[in-house]
Amino acid sequence: MAYTFTLAGDMETRAQLLQHLDTIALQEGGLLHWTQTSSETSASLAVEISSYVLLASLSASPLSTTDLGYTSRIVRWLVRQQNAYGGFSSTQDTVVALQALALYSARVFSREGTSTVTVQSPSGRQHLFEVNQNNKLLYQERAMQDTEGKYSVEVKGSACASVQVALHYNIPTPTDSTTLSIKVKPEVDCNSNSLRPRVTLKLQSQYHGKELTTNMIIVDLKMLSGFDPDPESLGRLRGSLLVDRVDTKDDHVLMYLRELPSLFQPFNHTLDIIQELPVQNLKPAVVMIYDYYQPSDQAETEYVFPCK
């Protein structure tokens, strides 16, 4: 499920639509964004909707100082939602958000002006970033040495710059599922003398939430080492109930489900995988299920090669 805004017609109609959007905007600390009205708020949808509003707001020509100030409040909220790699929650919201941010950058770009960004660590060490005419389009990065304490950022000058701090850390895999769950049962004839053992993976996906149905659901199925999906089985999977699309990438099979209704029984899908390369001491492979627009709503499990 995706939300799109189409602003057409004369300038008066466009202005009225933007005024209405302004009345339903969420304002936090001088920042602006929009979201869905459902009780289950999706961070991905909020990014996508806000990006469309930003694109619409930037379509006015020419942009006044007031217009730029308004759009900058949306931009600052969007930038705060970016992950450490510059993307967002999903492919869809990332594409729209980067398009909106790129348009904003083009509208505010100027060859004039310079800025200096100073980042001071808790130990007193300073990192200087110069933004000038020669490097305005370059990405600059510094590794911070202090893992704890308060950092300060000071910006001086007249050039526009975006500053992001990325913190990386590891957390244990959660054992409790959210509103989604998935089970995998591998079946194989361990007494077969075949040089290419075939394993049938029986998948059970289920939604336990309060809504009538979910957004699009992704099932990310990692292959066991040395195994590949059977092409004929992939074809049957593409025609299965609720399956909108099936992709293969590296050693993963990605199954896109249009939705999962809130029913008691799970939805079953089957995929055959074939061992193309013998591997000793096979490790378990992970299967993950998650909401396309709200990836934090996810669950995962493992499956193993049943034969010893």
CA geometry: angle 125, 76, 3, nearest 5 deg:
140
pLDDT score at 182: 94
pLDDT score at 4: 47
In this prediction, the residues of the chain whose per-residue pLDDT falls under 70 are 1-12, 14, 37-41, 171-177, 264
Count CB-CB contacts under 10 A for residue 187. 12
d(CA 138, CA 238): 43
187 shares a domain with 294: yes
In a domain, 162, yes or no: no
CB 205 within 8 A of CB 180: yes
In a domain, 174, yes or no: no
Detail the DSSP E strand segments found in 149-213.
Answer: 152-157, 180-187, 198-207
Question: What digits encode the pLDDT tens for the residues 60-82?
Answer: 777 888 888 899 999 999 999 99
pTM confidence score? 0.58
DSSP 213: B
As a residue count, the chain comes to 308
pLDDT score at 297: 86
- What is the residue range of 258's domain? 180-303
CB 25 within 8 A of CB 33: yes
152 shares a domain with 77: no
- Residue 256 maps to which CATH number? 2.60.40.690
134 shares a domain with 233: no
pLDDT score at 41: 61
67 shares a domain with 137: no
103 shares a domain with 207: no
pLDDT score at 155: 92
pLDDT score at 307: 86
Q: Helix, strand, or coil here: 121? A: coil
> Which residues make beta-bridge pairs with 298?
290
Of the three residues 97, 126, 157, the one that is the final residue of a domain is: 157
In a domain, 214, yes or no: yes
In a domain, 207, yes or no: yes
Question: What token pair was written down for 164?
Answer: 């992001």
98 shares a domain with 209: no
CB 108 within 8 A of CB 64: no
Total count of domains within the chain: 3
